[in-house]
Structure 1
């Protein structure tokens, strides 16, 4: 709730939680509001875009944000549920779901990896529902191993109020090669994700980032740190030139989520195997811009039994 004074000047904010805590401290409903008022709350100017407002709300774990002008006059209120109402996105999402999941056996002996249940539903369903919540409504699923099970479960997507098409690989073509089967080719930038990646990342933000930077291809990456278990001796020939005590190595790893321009498909050969890093290398060799999108949200590549157990415990 917003408290104002002298008509529309912001005095502060107050929540029902503040009131409950005040009552527990011995205050009464007749106590002055000033005793529990937040006099310097987080506010935003009228010109701040909805995307940045959502980021501020998410970072500060608040669901309402006052809008004030430069004189501290209250001119509006941002509400989380209103901002989360998203417009439909014309961009398709391609989901790679054809892998055999050999590292997850015996779980995948009779079930394709993206169909393994997590929190009562297949991993693939989590991905589709999350993207739906951000306005995506056209999905293309690449199938190979036990693909009929995926197609029988999702059908044309009507039960999720989306459209689902399928790419059927006669043999494994890799994350890049499967895209050569797209027909017709997309006319707008499109997302690609592995069917075993569970994450809280916002797909719409990756797409917007890609478009702002005018890239032919964008790869989402995660920071990865690894600490050497021993002290490292730096040498030149037989001479010691320095010591690093258990140094930490920092790298970026491929998160399995991408955005591609339609022209990126031009570097693929029909029905030829190609993994996604090779596709990026071909684009780079052709003087196309390729960039990374640094991810900070929770992310899990469910490739091993331990990963599956972690996913299930987090979605219990």
Structure 2
């Protein structure tokens, strides 16, 4: 089981350069791209607060970290307690977790470009009862190219990107539960090496969800989401 507290803290990976959408992120970090008149990260944090009761947040930042700090501050204006953990240099997403001085012993993990579509309370309970020290939300991949997870016996048996594992039909949904100690027991600065190691050792539970992942991680996806947001 992932030893999450009753109301788990949230860690958000928000340090990437946004290289797949540079004409949007040269002057603005990806986490602060506007959606519906407010930064995407603000909406993400409010969704986890409202749906999951989450208060404690660690932001792992990098590219233009000062802008994120200026916008979010200590989180008090959002009813949150936010700690900023800027990278001294690009460390990769898992490297950023290892660098975070105030990383909780167990936490939910998400990305600054993924729209929350999964109930955090439900997911945390599934992770607690999983029998593993880590858990990943998974679901059917929208396209074969996006399949990066092979599942067997309620666990992620293999994780890889471009190409995905042979026989994979699912993908991760951008929400995980981790224990800090797994960072010391498994190698890797990026998701492929770290999640792949967890999977090989049978330590990564697969939590199936039907909610489709919505992300703004590329220019095309961001622009598509902006058009969608204008209609609601």
TM-score, scaled to structure 1? 0.59
1:288 deviation in Å? 5.3
The answer as to whether partners of 2:60 and 2:100 remain within 8 angstroms in 1 is: no
Q: 2:219 — aligned with what?
A: 305
SS of structure 1 residue aligned to 2:181: helix
1:174 matched to 2:92? The reply is yes
1:185 deviation in Å? 4.2
Mapping for residues 136-285 of structure 1, pairs under 5 Å: 136-187=54-105, 189-226=106-143, 251-267=169-185, 274-284=189-199
Structure number with the bigger relative contact order (C-alpha 8 A, sep ≥ 6) is 2
Deviations 1:163-213 (A, max 9, x none): 0001111122222111112324423x3111111011321122221111011
1:280 deviation in Å? 2.5
How many pairs does the alignment contain? 204
Q: 1:129 — aligned with what?
A: 46
Q: Which structure 2 residue ranges, 5 or more long, are not aligned?
A: 146-166
Q: 1:58 — aligned with what?
A: none
Deviations 1:22-45 (A, max 9, x none): xxxxxxxxxxxxxxxxxxxxxxxx
The answer as to whether partners of 1:268 and 1:274 remain within 8 angstroms in 2 is: no
Deviations 1:223-260 (A, max 9, x none): 125479xxxxxxxxxxxxxxxxxxxx871112222110
The answer as to whether partners of 2:139 and 2:212 remain within 8 angstroms in 1 is: no
The answer as to whether partners of 1:97 and 1:142 remain within 8 angstroms in 2 is: yes
Deviations 1:25-73 (A, max 9, x none): xxxxxxxxxxxxxxxxxxxxxxxxxxxxxxxxxxxxxxxxxxxxxxxxx
The answer as to whether partners of 1:156 and 1:164 remain within 8 angstroms in 2 is: yes
Q: 1:214 to 1:275 in 2, by over 3 A?
A: same
Q: 1:250 to 1:176 in 2, by over 3 A?
A: closer
The answer as to whether partners of 1:267 and 1:283 remain within 8 angstroms in 2 is: no
The answer as to whether partners of 1:200 and 1:299 remain within 8 angstroms in 2 is: yes
| Aligned equivalents of 2:118, 2:199: Cα separation in 1 | 26
| Aligned equivalents of 1:120, 1:298: Cα separation in 2 | 24
| Aligned equivalents of 1:314, 1:300: Cα separation in 2 | 11
| Aligned equivalents of 1:303, 1:219: Cα separation in 2 | 19
Q: 1:99 — aligned with what?
A: 16
Structural RMSD (CA): 2.3
The answer as to whether partners of 1:99 and 1:113 remain within 8 angstroms in 2 is: yes
The answer as to whether partners of 2:132 and 2:204 remain within 8 angstroms in 1 is: yes
| Aligned equivalents of 2:185, 2:75: Cα separation in 1 | 30
Q: Which structure 1 residue ranges, 5 or more long, are not aligned?
A: 1-87, 229-248
Moved more, 169-178 or 295-304: 295-304
Larger gyration radius, structure 1 or structure 2: 1
The answer as to whether partners of 1:220 and 1:295 remain within 8 angstroms in 2 is: yes
| Aligned equivalents of 2:144, 2:57: Cα separation in 1 | 40
